Amino acid sequence: TDLSPFMREGVAATMVQEEYVKQLVELFRAAEEAENKEQLQSLYMIAKSLVMMNETNLLEQMLHDDYYLSIFGMFEYDPEHDTPHKHRDFMGKAVVFKQVIPFEDPMLVSRIHQNFRVQYLKEVVL
């Protein structure tokens, strides 16, 4: 990401507007179904680059309920590791959200989930 902050913001806005993440997830699912390791490793590099842009709107779209498991799936194909980390297993099965105080606003709960995903992504995945 050698782009200036202004350029990075513009690129990220275009990606969000054009639903680039949705298309990336579709490519990931097809590559995984075909067991195309080379494509999966390329998708890992693309996903990592997108995260490293550190653009809020783009991260929000990547970690949306509809896409986050596939995005974490891309991070399982790090070419530097022979054995994939099971991020999807952890995020999809092991993580359980428990409310001490019930929240009635579904947007608040969604934001809490997204914040956890960002934290996991930045502290564990990267």
Specify the DSSP element, H or E, that contains 119.
helix 106-120
| Helix/strand/coil for 27 | helix
Measured between alpha carbons, how far is 56 from 12 in angstroms, rounded to an integer?
9
For the chain, give the number of residues. Answer: 126
Which residue do the tokens 């297993």 mark? 89
Which pLDDT tens digit goes with each residue over 8-25?
Answer: 888 999 999 999 999 999
Instruction: Tell me which DSSP letter residue 125 carries.
Output: I
Which pLDDT tens digit goes with each residue over 46-97?
Answer: 999 999 998 999 999 999 989 999 999 999 999 998 877 888 787 776 666 6
The verdict on pTM exceeding 0.75 is yes
- Residue 26's contacts (CB-CB under 8 Å, 6 or more residues apart) are none
